[in-house]
Amino acid sequence: MLQPELLAPAGDLEKLQTALDYGADAVYAGGEQFGLRAPAGNFTLQDLGRAREMTSTRGKRLYLTLNAYLRPGEIESLCAYLEALRPLDLDAYIVSDPGVLAQVRRLDPQRPIHLSTQANTTNASAVRFWQESGVSRVNLARELTLEEIRDIGSGCDVELEAFVHGALCVAYSGRCLLSAALTGRSANQGACAQPCRWKYGLMEETRPGEYFPVEEDGRGTYLMNSRDLCLVEYLPELLAAGVGSLKIEGRMKSRYYVAAVTRVYRAALDAWLKDPDTWRFDPLWREELDKVSHRPYGTGFLFGGDDPQIHRRDSRYVRLYDFVGVVQSVAAGGKGVVQGRNRFFPGDSLELIGPGMRGTGFHAGTLFSENGEPLAAGQPNARIVMDLPDGTQPGDLLRKTVLG
């Protein structure tokens, strides 16, 4: 790649717009079929057409996930879907099943193909195999160390992509059978019920029906609960190892997550692009990532010897802030219209965040409806008229600490 790419998730059109506004070079989205996030707000063909316009107008790229593993009866539907997709001229399809790859090459031979992490590619020989099969980019297995990524990067000339942030799966490269075994919903076909996040207990053979919870504290524990990945501190090492696309996980995450995480990695990547030799990790970046709901962060397998599968002390999400509103418009004098997302009150201490690491704290004044009636609180989905800080722009987000 000519320069590194920041790749952000787009669970719907609103989140796609946010990802672009907050600094993504490219976004990845799922259609109504054959992706691995069936519960996400997936894109209809009409949505994909609109998404294509939004990305191409801004010189950005749009990738579509077709990374489910297909059963024999699904190939015909895939082929019909590929025919319907072809006029949209998307920048690439993300696949993992060799059968899907073969059908894309047969029906749409000019379409770039990216290989999903679900294919668990762990060596340069495998990368070359996929390249010879028509793949132009490989998202490497998450189990690789930095040294192994460096070895692969020096042994091939295909584009390499790696996840740098977001949730990790307890299974090998996400190829988990637990959901299918316990619920009949296959993770490999986009319907994971996330049973690795459930609470579990023990039952002794001679005491049927007697339940023994496994506890670390009063709330119990999650035996297979992986830490979230956070590699913002190690972007230069990944780039030097040959990774050209830095991917953020989270098509099912909130608009606030997309904005807050994307802008941090944009700032870190821009600092590197400006001068790689003087790049320094800014603690502010980590502070901002801590303000997004997350499980305790870790570096996954990047440095080997770590235990990325579970965090032992507390299985709950870390949530320091609530996302309370989106700025819809701003008028002269600082009055703005905010669409509520969570409840907040006059007098609350709020933070406004925007692209480019813009941010400022302020106290909410009197809140009004669009009809000019005073409001006791800002409510989800309400349109709220309120005073906003200087420099506020449409698309900025409001948050407040969980403690008020």
Residue spans of beta strands (DSSP E) within 223-346 = 228-230, 245-248, 297-298, 321-330, 335-340
Q: At what angle do helices 75-85 and 45-57 cross, to 10 degrees?
A: 40
Region 214-222: what's the mean pLDDT?
Answer: 52
Q: Given this model, what pLDDT does residue 138 score?
A: 98
Q: What is the pTM of this model?
A: 0.89
Region 5-13: what's the mean pLDDT?
Answer: 96
Residue 170 has pLDDT above 80, yes or no: no
What is the chain's length?
404
Bin 391: left if φ > 0, else alpha if -120 < ψ < 50, else beta. left
DSSP characters over 128-153: HHHHHTT-SEEE--TT--HHHHHHHH
Is CATH 3.30.70.920 the classification given to domain 5-173+225-298?
no
Contact 87, 71 (CB under 8 A): no
Contact 162, 240 (CB under 8 A): no
Per cent of the chain over pLDDT 90 is 72
β-pairing, 374-375 vs 367-368, is antiparallel
Fold for 321-401, please state it. Answer: Elongation Factor Tu (Ef-tu); domain 3 (2.40.30)
β-pairing, 297-298 vs 228-230, is parallel
- Per-domain residue ranges of the chain: 5-173+225-298, 321-401
pLDDT tens, position by position, 54-91: 999 999 999 999 998 898 999 999 999 999 999 999 99
Tokens read off for 168: 């990790």
Region 170-192: what's the mean pLDDT?
Answer: 73
DSSP characters over 150-187: HHHHHT--SEEEEEEEEE--SSGGG---HHHHHHS--G
Closest residue by Cα to residue 98 from 122, 124, 120, 125: 120
Residue 143 has pLDDT above 60, yes or no: yes
Q: Given this model, what pLDDT does residue 220 score?
A: 47
Average pLDDT, the chain: 90
